[in-house]
Amino acid sequence: MTLMDFDLSPWHNLMYIIGEATVLFILGALLVSFVLVVISLYSIKRGRLYFPRFIKAGMVFLEGLMKAFFRLLGLEDREMLTFIIKIHNTMNASAFSRVPLSERAVFVPQCLRSAKCPAHLTPEGLKCVNCGQCTIGEARILLEKLGYRIFIIPGSSFIKRMVKKYHPKAIIGVGCLTEVKEGIDMADKIGLIAMGVVTLKEGCVETLVNWQDIYEVAVLGLDPASVPEDFHILAG
């Protein structure tokens, strides 16, 4: 029996169907990505999130295509990352609010400290001595009084280490755009609820953050009556 004796038509039909399905899948992915980008751009323009769950799901499966469309339409990477973080925070706000304070933590980058900071690096990050040369000391006291565990860290490896040691269920991550995006992705992979706050100034030394943005996230889900009065005074 030779190869010519076999009926290959079923295989030809199968390959044709697979080819058609592949083309349809690619076209569908392109169409969905374009729709997601249009909704995203409209949300950015209006300053309000439309269909956040749909956008978040699309970001998970079609992020590469969406980035390509964003660039094609002239949207800068910074704007795109800012929007992605905003979507993520919006989607996570409810779940974050339900986590008790005892199971929350705040991670801030060491670049927020003064260049003259006398704090020493420990296995759990920098140990602030509240020298008054930067804003971290006052913020740390405020957040710890509220019930948070706060870490001043030099890199993402410390986040993994402290999460493994203390097992928080929700965190507030502070950093530059790329650091916050990477932290969010890492948190998603390990099932951690994360809220990102982006610094106002990027760099390696004496960067800036709006602590009010952090405080607003920190009190999510809390009974206003349970928040210390001096927290409102200092946070305001």
| DSSP structure string for 77-102 | HHHHHHHHHHHHHHHHHHHHHTS-GG
Domain boundary among 43, 75, 107: 75
Query: Do 101 and 58 fall into the same domain?
Result: no
Query: Do 110 and 189 fall into the same domain?
Result: yes
Tell me which DSSP letter residue 209 carries. -
Query: Do 69 and 100 fall into the same domain?
Result: no
Which position has the token pair 């705040």? 106
pLDDT for residue 71 is more than 80: no
Query: Do 113 and 46 fall into the same domain?
Result: no
pLDDT for residue 10 is more than 70: no
Q: Which pTM does this prediction carry? A: 0.73
Whether 208 is in a domain gets the answer yes
Q: What pLDDT sits at residue 150? A: 95
Q: Which residues contact 3 (CB under 8 A, 6 or more apart)?
A: none
* DSSP SS3 for 33: helix
Whether 226 is in a domain gets the answer yes
Adjacency order of strands within the sheet including 193-198: 121-122, 125-126, 149-153, 104-109, 170-175, 193-198
Query: Do 56 and 115 fall into the same domain?
Result: no
- The answer to whether 196 and 183 are in contact (CB under 8 A) is yes
pLDDT-based confidence at residue 88 (cuts at 50, 70, 90): confident
131-185 confidence digits (pLDDT tens): 989 999 999 999 998 999 999 998 888 898 999 999 999 999 999 998 998 898 8
Q: At what angle do helices 52-72 and 77-97 cross, to 10 degrees?
A: 170
* Of 41, 71, 73, residue with least CA distance to 55: 41
Query: Do 148 and 227 fall into the same domain?
Result: yes
Query: Do 133 and 202 fall into the same domain?
Result: yes
pLDDT-based confidence at residue 3 (cuts at 50, 70, 90): very low
Exposed/middle/buried for residue 104 (C-beta within 10 Å: 0-12, 13-18, 19+): buried
Query: Do 156 and 126 fall into the same domain?
Result: yes
For the chain, what is the domain count?
Answer: 2
Whether 172 is in a domain gets the answer yes
Q: How far apart are CA 194 and CA 171, in angstroms?
A: 5
Whether 173 is in a domain gets the answer yes
Domain range spanning residue 221?
Answer: 94-235
- The answer to whether 58 and 50 are in contact (CB under 8 A) is no
pLDDT for residue 228 is more than 90: no
Domain boundary among 46, 75, 104: 75
pLDDT-based confidence at residue 56 (cuts at 50, 70, 90): low
Q: How far apart are CA 34 and CA 132, in angstroms?
A: 50
175 alpha-carbon distance from chain centroid: 10
